[in-house]
Amino acid sequence: MRDTAPNSWDARAESASFYGFTDLPTIAERGTVVLTHGDGPYVHDTNGKRYFDSNSGLWNMVAGFNHPKLAEAAKAQYDRFPGYHSLFGRMSDQTVMLSETLIEVSPYAHGKVFYTNSGSEANDTMVKMLWFLGASEGQPQRRKIITRWNSYHGVTAVAASMTGKPYNSVFGLPLPGFLHVGSPHYWRFGQEGETEAQFTQRLARELEATIIKEGPDTIAGFFAEPIIGAGGVIPPSEGYFQAVQAVLKKYGIPLIADEVITGFGRTGNLWGCQTYDFVPDAIIASKAMTAGYFPMGAILLGPDLADRLQDASNAIEEFPHGFTASGHPVGCAIALAAIDLVVNGGLAENVRALTPKFEAGLAQLAENPNIGEWRGKGLMAALEAVQDKATKTPFPGTLSVSERIANTCTDHGLICRPLGQSIVLCPPFICTEAHLDEMFEKLDAALKKVFAEIV
């Protein structure tokens, strides 16, 4: 509960910090969880309470909260060369090495990498790259961007315009030219009597109709998360990316995979596009790239876009874009260590090893009469609460069901994330089976308690 003493951490946090993506009435009642440190998959607060963080921070702390190799990589690089940009013909050796490594572990035989400080900036930058390409290739009208309803691509003005969430209307977004098509969530949006394959075909037809209506030569790109993350963990419907990519190829529209969450092992393969068997034209990466130990984003350009963007840049002698901390040497050194942990240090293997137990635990919780479905892949999943399982009727929004479940979990030392009427779980890759047992036991108790209160 919120500590009302004037010098409490709660009071101090509220007095000088402006909160984002936080339900303020909940803060007024419960206060702020002020964290001091972590060990493995746990974080500790200023009251000495320990929480299992089943969200890996914000999907990103895949190696846990005190991995010695990442801290060592950071310290060694801070000692050696603590900061630099990657502009004006200069970049650090770490930046060179990270780009090589990223292309090596990418689905591309050759390609190029551009760095940002976040996933939002990477999406924003990719859009600017597509606009730049259109203008340079004599198609300045090719500026529209298509994404899906309920997708999440970030918060900068462009990334928020791509995000298919109604809350962005408070900012007067989306900007003109940002279009949204249907979400591939068969359980929720499949029609009576429609098979999953038919549902997928319907979405592909909707995409094609949108392209034709808008004018194929006005569309600069289509962005999609292999699994929609912050929209409530929504894996694609059967054959979705094959159907959509066929449409995009027909009109020469690049498919950009936003792998900010799914990149670097979360779904059991290094990339979500490998899990769903497609090769995008570019990949947006962030989060697990540095295991959350440094803010960093990257665009991995596949061969076609890399070559065309190189030509476009050559024509005007530069690509006029970049951030002060693009390709920061400390971020790059940490990313090299983090990728090594995932690829060679057993973390991706551990995701695959834990997946059957994770899925079994989710399936068991989904037997609860107020859980409509569990969905996910690898170590990312959601459980969706429903008032009526047969009709998939949600609880009234006023009951704030997922927030109540998440708050109950927090009280019992488990951090999990409420998203819509779902609870999201994406534990760190370093977890053990015992950690998953602890997570499921605590969540089960919270589900039972909250449903008993409101049903």
Task: Report in angstroms how near the CB of residue 380 gets to ligand PLP at its nearest.
Answer: 11
Segments in 180-227 forming alpha helices (H)? 186-189, 196-214
Task: Report in angstroms how near the CB of residue 189 gets to ligand PLP at its nearest.
Answer: 20
Tokens linked to 414 = 């488990």
By beta-carbon proximity to ligand PLP, the closer residue of 296 and 371 is: 296
Task: Report in angstroms how near the CB of residue 328 gets to ligand PLP at its nearest.
Answer: 14
Torsion-angle region of residue 373: left (phi > 0), alpha (psi -120 to 50) or beta? beta
Nearest to residue 237, comparing CAs of 182, 280, 192?
A: 182
By beta-carbon proximity to ligand PLP, the closer residue of 123 and 125 is: 123
DSSP collapsed to 3 states, 243-298 = HHHHHHHHCCCCEEEECCCCCCCCCCCCCHHHHCCCCCCEEEECHHHHCCCCCCEE
Task: Report in angstroms how near the CB of residue 286 gets to ligand PLP at its nearest.
Answer: 5
Task: Report in angstroms how near the CB of residue 327 gets to ligand PLP at its nearest.
Answer: 16
DSSP 430: T
Phi and psi of 60, rounded to 5°? -105, -25
By beta-carbon proximity to ligand PLP, the closer residue of 142 and 153 is: 153
Tokens linked to 115 = 């760095």
Tokens linked to 54 = 């089943």
Rounded alpha-carbon distances, angstroms, from residue 366 to 50, 179, 447: 27, 34, 10
- Which position has the token pair 């894996």? 235
Task: Report in angstroms how near the CB of residue 53 gets to ligand PLP at its nearest.
Answer: 15
Tokens linked to 233 = 């963990």
By beta-carbon proximity to ligand PLP, the closer residue of 230 and 443 is: 230
Write the single-letter amino acid at 280: P
Residues that bind ligand PLP (CB under 6 A): 118-120, 123, 152-154, 225, 229-230, 258, 260-261, 286
Find out whether the peptide bond into 174 is cis, omega within 30 degrees of 0.
yes
By beta-carbon proximity to ligand PLP, the closer residue of 297 and 329 is: 297
By beta-carbon proximity to ligand PLP, the closer residue of 278 and 451 is: 278
By beta-carbon proximity to ligand PLP, the closer residue of 154 and 184 is: 154
Task: Report in angstroms how near the CB of residue 119 gets to ligand PLP at its nearest.
Answer: 2
